[in-house]
Amino acid sequence: MSVKIEVIAGGVPHDKIMIAGLVSTLVCIYLTYLNAFTNTEVFSFFGGLAVVAALIWGSHTIKVLCSYGIGTGVPSAGMIAFGSGVIAMLLATKFGMLAPIVAVVLAAVIGLILGYVSNNILNMKIPAMVQALTEMAVVGALTVMGFAAMITGGFTFTGLTTSTASFLGFPITSYANSFLGGGLIAVAFLLGAIAIQHPFNACLGPGWKQDRMLMLTAECGFLSMIVAAVMSFALISAGSALISLLVAIIGWAYTYSQFFEMSKRDAAAWLDSKPIPDTEGQ
């Protein structure tokens, strides 16, 4: 007796969200490249904004896919998205400046094939499957790349595998203390994988509203950005990390309060310390 998922049409169409999400994510990731031009790290917070944009797109894709009832839980969709996305993202980081574009193309190819595999070989026959898995692999790759850019200040393979710390005044290169060497990629992986599926998982039901779900996605994105900003203190300068943290906290506080407002708007009643209402019909 699982919960019946009902779809409510209306709201912003999915194609529009997809295009807006893709463009704004790419723009935000490229804005972190200003770090390399200006030789600072203050633009790292754009990586976090890219994460928020990608997640908004991805959570709507999950909604499109899971409305069909795929037989297993919503969270598994997030897992396959990031499982395929993280591999594409790491290969893409080898292409320097072109990395985000390569990540999109590569992840799309992987997602397309995985979609074909599930739909045809596994005989799932879900119309949205191929497109949804393609989109989610791209979202997964871009989200992890956004986190990487935010935590390390760049998205090149060298930047992700090394860090420079100064020891007694001498700069030394450390491989263990890096995004990849320290295993922070595992944290970025799960932060994204939970944040992408949570909004739909939390808002499903007959009263599903698009704006409430997307606001929750933005909230999850900013929340993940807060903790990513704290982690970035270890790898980028304190001032730059502080900027990321401030942006994240402001964004989170706004979206969280907005989500409360929207829940208040949609809820049947908003009660404090009240008993169960007597309206039940049994």
Partner 1 sequence: MEHIVFGIGITALTGALATVAGSAEDTESNIGSQGDPNSQVQLAPQMGFLHRIFNKAVAGEPPAYGLWCALGAGLAWAFMAMQVNAILAIVLGCILAVFVQGVYATTAYLGRTASLAKFGQPVYVDIIKSMTTVTMAHAFIAIFCTVALCQLINGALGHPFPLPLLALIWGVALGAAGSATGNPYYGKERQYQNQKFGAGVPISASGNIVRYAEAGERNSIDNGFFTHKIGGSASGVCFGLIVFLELWRTILFERIYAGWGAIAVGVLMILIFTVIDRYIEVWARKNYGPYTVAKEADA
Partner 2 sequence: MSAVAAKPTAGGAVNPAAMAVGVVMLIIILGLTYTISPGMGVMALIGIVIGGVMIGFGTHFVPVGGAPAAMGQAPGIATGVAMLAAGAGLAGLFGGAWAAELGIVVAVVTGGIGGGLMMAITCMMVNFVYVFGMGIPAASGKVLHDPITGDSQAEYKSQGTEGHGLPFVSFVGGVIGGILAGAGGTLIYIELLGLYEATFPTLMSATPAQVLPVAVSVAGMFAVALFLVNAVLTAYNITGTIEGPHDPKFKRWPRAIVASAVASALCGFVAILIVAI
Question: Which residues of this chain interact with partner 2, rule CB under 8 A?
Answer: 1-2, 4-9, 67-73, 75-77, 79-80, 82-84, 86-88, 90-91, 94, 106, 110, 113-114, 116-118, 120-127, 158, 161-162, 175-176, 178, 180-183, 185-186, 189
Nearer to partner 1, 131 or 177 (CB): 177
How many Cβ atoms from other residues are within 10 Å of residue 89's Cβ?
A: 32
Residue among 141, 135, 146 at smallest CA distance from 14: 135
Closest separation in Å from C-beta 70 to partner 2 = 6
Antiparallel, parallel or unpaired: β 170-174 and 163-167? antiparallel
Closest separation in Å from C-beta 248 to partner 1 = 12
Residue 271 touches which of partner 1, partner 2, none (Cβ within 5-8 Å per kind): partner 1
Nearer to partner 1, 71 or 275 (CB): 275
Residue 110 touches which of partner 2, partner 1, none (Cβ within 5-8 Å per kind): partner 2
Closest separation in Å from C-beta 269 to partner 2 = 24
The answer for residues whose C-beta is within 8 angstroms of residue 107's C-beta and 6 or more apart is 84, 85, 88, 89, 137, 138, 140, 141, 142
Residue 256 touches which of partner 1, partner 2, none (Cβ within 5-8 Å per kind): partner 1
Nearer to partner 1, 22 or 229 (CB): 229
Residue among 106, 99, 82, 268 at smallest CA distance from 191: 82
Closest separation in Å from C-beta 62 to partner 2 = 13
| Angle between helix 74-92 and helix 99-116 axes, rounded to 10 deg | 140
Q: Which helix (H) or strand (E) element contains residue 172?
A: strand 170-174
Closest separation in Å from C-beta 61 to partner 1 = 17
Residue among 53, 64, 69 at smallest CA distance from 15: 64
Nearer to partner 2, 134 or 255 (CB): 134
Nearer to partner 2, 84 or 217 (CB): 84
Residue 235 touches which of partner 2, partner 1, none (Cβ within 5-8 Å per kind): partner 1
Q: Taking the CA atoms of 62, 68, 70 and 74 in sequence, report the sign of the dihedral they define.
A: positive
Residue 161 touches which of partner 1, partner 2, none (Cβ within 5-8 Å per kind): partner 2
The answer for residues whose C-beta is within 8 angstroms of residue 86's C-beta and 6 or more apart is 140, 141, 144, 185, 189
Closest separation in Å from C-beta 278 to partner 1 = 9
Residue 87 touches which of partner 2, partner 1, none (Cβ within 5-8 Å per kind): partner 2
Nearer to partner 2, 5 or 230 (CB): 5
Stated length of the chain: 282
Six-digit token string for 68: 């069909």
Residue 259 touches which of partner 1, partner 2, none (Cβ within 5-8 Å per kind): partner 1
Residue among 218, 196, 197, 198 at smallest CA distance from 262: 218
C-alpha distances (whole Å) from 14 to each of 53, 74, 134, 135 are: 14, 18, 14, 11
Nearer to partner 1, 2 or 123 (CB): 2
